Amino acid sequence: MASAIVFSALALGAIHTTVLWITALVVGASAACAWFFAPVARPRAAANLLLTTCVGLTAFTAFQLVPLPMGVLRVLAPNNADVWSRALTPLHLPGPSFAPISLDPVATGVEVLRGMLYLAAFLAVVRISSRREGTFFCSAVLVVSATVVGIAGLLHPAMGAERVFGLYRPTTYIEARHIAPILNVNALAAYVNIGFFIVLAEGITSRPTVPRPIAWALAGVLMAIQFWLASRGAVITMLIGSGMVGWMTRVSTRVHRHPGLGRLASAMAIVVVVAGVAMWVFASSDEAWKELADTDVSKVRIFEQVTRMIRHYPLWGAGRGSFESTFPVFREGTGHIVYTHPENVLLQWASEWGLPVALAGFGAVAWALHPSILFSRSRPSVGAWVALIATLLHNQVDLNSEFPAVMLALCVCAGMIVGGTGVGTFRRSDIWAKRPRLIAFGAPVGVLAAIALVLPNADRDLYSDRMAMRQAALAPMPREAFHELARATMSRHPAEPYLPFTGAIRAIGTKDDSVLPWAGRTLELAPVYGPAHWILARSLFRRSSSQARLEYRLAVEQAPGFFAQIAAESAPLVTGPNEAMELVPEGGAGLSMLESLADRLADSHPSTQLVLDDEILRRRPDSAPAIARRARAQAADVVDEAVTPWCSGTRRSQCVEQAIATAQRLQQLRPSMCEGYALEAEVRAAAGDVDRALGQLESRADRVDDAATCFEGIVQIAKRTGRYASISSVVDKLARAGCSDDLHCVAQLFRAAAIEDDRGNPLRALSFLRRARDRYPNRDDVLAARAVAAAKLGLHAEALDEYVELAKRHPENTQWPARITEERQALVQLSAPRPPPPPP
């Protein structure tokens, strides 16, 4: 039993089916060993109630897997029947004639195995904890397991591990500091809390089984680990649970007449809270502080949406374990997000088992674990009882009860609390305890039956079927083979929207199937599914521009993270401002879409860009990108007077004032950037105030982050106005201006070289390129530019050296050998003897 507890926690919390059935086998065997030679003894009433509840919930989960005639299912669970009847509509096939209540039979089968694991564990611990030594043994195993798992959670990030124990790499992104045997930090923290409460209770009890200093030291270690993990819910429940341990210990002291211990328990509770604050300060990392201080409560917002799911499946539920695939139809908001659990155990039970079964199960567990049950034993398991209550509290806001390792530990705690022998004569409900060998055979047989139910579909869970459909949609698979795979996977997970979505992806690529039924089924199962609208927009791109624009807008609204890609793809559908606005939703996503469209339409549709900028400024008056675009356009109107007649004559002064005002507004929004000052200088120079323009821009260059922009502006104004005398000094400043990285520095030297080459100073241009070559010798573009400049000046030997170096670096590039040949020929021509000049 101890090996199963520790193994399940270290092996990723037994979340994978293979680890689960191995753990179940060991626990089933331990239950058989515990009961085979057990004497007949009357169990306590609480044990009867917990056993009946566990059997009933597991049996009901198995009932959810029973195929029922569709007519019967429509009477019992009409919404479940509707999902099953429409499961294969993208394939134009009818639904099955027989279907279970569960909308994810594979996941429900796994839950049956979990139920049998918890039942076998409870039976084993009830028998083991009938003696005081057995209770101590179970407590010690939980404390040791929690300590080992917690320390492993510290060592993995400390050693920079990317794999769990160097073996398992997470399939989804996990922060480096949370790489641990249990990858979900909330579940790991809950597991650590269980060990903490047990050892804390041991440290303040009047009759400790281990020396108090050892118990307190272990409690301090587990508390430090807890604060480092930085699960907000776990830290709060740890502090609350610490007070509960002190209080319950004091109550148990009064019950069992141990005077003076109540004061010790109260004092220890205060010490624990103070120590918690101290450990928070000294043991937490910077990342832990940030996570603990995080005020994000977004997952709590889904509770209301889950209640809608409960109303949709009120009596029989959607099937235990089916939440991940069935919840998308009720999800609101934006973003392409998958919720695997509702982060609340009561809502999870009610949505998957139905409200009556969930309430009955929860009520039975609460009644069986009433505090009076705890105090009926001579040595109450206070730590185990607090661990159960605190974990239940934690499960109202965080996921952890869906990790088998955590539930296995809680079943051990429950068995420790209700174990022992009852008093009085046998009741009818005690019949199971009269036949210990029946339990010894029944527990492993039940586990084996559950394993037999799960193993045929071990590689057909939701994640595996998603990956199989994705690979089939992206790989060249024949249409008939893909349809057969889709029929099988959608029959196993009829409410999952991603499976028909892969059919839409394949259809848009192969053109041998219609996109509409696949995407339509996806949106039936998940109304908030931006990528499905995106696929529909692509399919309608050439057939119906207006409908395609509508679908693009819905895609942006529901998946705002893709606005840049959608803007690039939908821009060809824009022929004017009205069409552009059809692509833009309300809210923050619409503003991002407006910004992206305005950038893309600047050259092809300047009037449309102007309208979009007006809309941007209406929604966000301080939008710096929109004001920058407007400032550039107004400056260009003033500078290019010949092509902008609306800014000539009497209206020119008005255009100048307007352009300067917009540029100054940009300066206010971006005071550390030079663009606003450069645009103002351009306008003033074009209006005739050249000296002021150059002076202001040159003085501003020392106070902005991008001085090179100011220097380039000075050069352009000087060239345009004939002030060539100051260009050389400005170009030198441009080349020496500070830069943030290698790319920026090389760009500045290139600009300086281009300015000098444009001015007819190729030698100075080459000098800037030589500086770039000396500073950044590993950049190919610097070598190539220097070679071209040297060849232009007739310095063919220098150009030849650069081309030879480039050919060494890139022997596969054929242009460099050709350039080498050209430069060698040029050198030969230079070295050839020249004929004497003709006589005068």
Q: Give mean pLDDT, residues 196-208.
A: 84
- pLDDT for position 699: 86
- pLDDT for position 450: 95
Of 265-274, 341-350, 627-636, the one with minimum mean pLDDT is 265-274
pLDDT in tens, 673-716: 999 999 999 999 888 888 888 888 888 887 888 787 888 888 88
- pLDDT for position 116: 96
- pLDDT for position 378: 63
Does position 429 have pLDDT exceeding 70, yes or no?
no
pLDDT in tens, 290-310: 544 454 555 667 888 899 999
- Contacts of residue 671, defined as CB under 8 A and 6 or more positions apart, other chains included, come to none
pLDDT in tens, 386-426: 999 889 888 887 878 899 999 999 999 999 998 877 555 56
User: How far apart (Å, rounded) are the C-alpha atoms in residues 830 and 585?
Assistant: 68
pLDDT in tens, 234-275: 888 888 888 888 888 777 665 544 444 444 444 444 444 444
pLDDT band at 461 (very low <50, low <70, confident <90, very high): very high
- Contacts of residue 556, defined as CB under 8 A and 6 or more positions apart, other chains included, come to 530, 562, 563, 566, 583, 584, 585, 589, 590, 592, 593
pLDDT band at 481 (very low <50, low <70, confident <90, very high): very high
Q: At what angle do helices 132-158 and 382-394 cross, to 10 degrees?
A: 50
- pLDDT for position 27: 95
Burial of 597-631, coded b for 16+ CB within 10 Å and e otherwise, reads bbbbbbeebeebbbbbbebbeebeeebbbbbbbbb
User: How far apart (Å, rounded) are the C-alpha atoms in residues 61 and 108?
Assistant: 7
User: How far apart (Å, rounded) are the C-alpha atoms in residues 588 and 522?
Assistant: 25
- pLDDT for position 471: 94
Judge contact between 321 and 60, C-beta under 8 A. Answer: no
Does position 48 have pLDDT exceeding 80, yes or no?
yes
Domain range summary for the chain, segments of one domain joined by + = 2-65+100-456, 464-531, 741-830
pLDDT band at 137 (very low <50, low <70, confident <90, very high): very high
Of 316-320, 565-569, 728-732, the one with minimum mean pLDDT is 728-732
What are the distances in angstroms from CA 648 to CA 299, 653, 820?
Answer: 59, 8, 54
| DSSP H or E run through 98 | strand 98-99
Picking from 601, 533, 599, the residue whose alpha carbon sits closest to that of residue 573 is 601
Domain at 741-830, CATH from 1.25.40.10, 3.90.1310.10, 3.90.1170.30, 1.10.10.10:
1.25.40.10
- pLDDT for position 739: 67
- pLDDT for position 643: 60
User: How far apart (Å, rounded) are the C-alpha atoms in residues 663 and 673?
Assistant: 12
User: How far apart (Å, rounded) are the C-alpha atoms in residues 250 and 266?
Assistant: 7
The larger pLDDT score, comparing residue 171 to residue 766, is at 766
What string of DSSP letters covers 222-270?
A: HHHHHHHHT-HHHHHHHHHHHHHHHHHHHHHHHHTT-TTHHHHHHHHHH
Does position 150 have pLDDT exceeding 50, yes or no?
yes
User: How far apart (Å, rounded) are the C-alpha atoms in residues 43 and 422?
Assistant: 5
- pLDDT for position 556: 92
What are the distances in angstroms from CA 555 to CA 161, 538, 559?
Answer: 38, 11, 6
Q: Give mean pLDDT, residues 523-536.
A: 94
- pLDDT for position 92: 92
- pLDDT for position 702: 78
Does position 839 have pLDDT exceeding 80, yes or no?
no
Question: Exposure of 517 by Cβ count < 10 A (0-12 exposed, 13-18 middle, 19+ buried)?
Answer: middle
Alpha helices in 354-435 (DSSP H): 355-368, 371-374, 382-394, 404-418
Judge contact between 256 and 265, C-beta under 8 A. Answer: no
Of 51-60, 111-120, 342-351, 489-498, the one with minimum mean pLDDT is 342-351
Q: What share of the chain is helix, strand, coil (3-state, %, to 5)?
A: 75, 0, 25
pLDDT band at 726 (very low <50, low <70, confident <90, very high): low
- pLDDT for position 276: 44
Q: Give mean pLDDT, residues 213-219.
A: 87
Does position 601 have pLDDT exceeding 90, yes or no?
no
- Contacts of residue 365, defined as CB under 8 A and 6 or more positions apart, other chains included, come to 50, 53
SS3 168: strand
What string of DSSP letters covers 440-482?
A: HHHHHHHHHHHHHHHGGGTT-SHHHHHHHHHHHHHS---HHHH
User: How far apart (Å, rounded) are the C-alpha atoms in residues 222 and 220?
Assistant: 5
Return the percentage of the chain with pLDDT > 90, whole number.
41
Residue-averaged pLDDT of the chain: 85
Judge contact between 581 and 587, C-beta under 8 A. Answer: no
What six digits make up the tokens of 119?
Answer: 């039942």
pLDDT in tens, 609-623: 889 999 999 999 999
- pLDDT for position 634: 87
Alpha helices in 92-211 (DSSP H): 105-128, 132-158, 185-204
Judge contact between 816 and 806, C-beta under 8 A. Answer: yes
Q: Give mean pLDDT, residues 50-77.
A: 94
Distance from the first to the final alpha carbon of the chain: 115
The amino acid at 37: F
- pLDDT for position 520: 94
- Contacts of residue 164, defined as CB under 8 A and 6 or more positions apart, other chains included, come to 12, 156, 170, 179, 180, 181, 183
Q: What is the DSSP letter of 648?
A: S
Q: Give mean pLDDT, residues 820-828.
A: 85
Q: At what angle do helices 727-736 and 707-721 cross, to 10 degrees?
A: 160
SS3 per-residue string spanning 289-338: HHHHCCCCCHHHHHHHHHHHHHHHCCCCCCCCCCHHHHHHHHCCCCCCCC
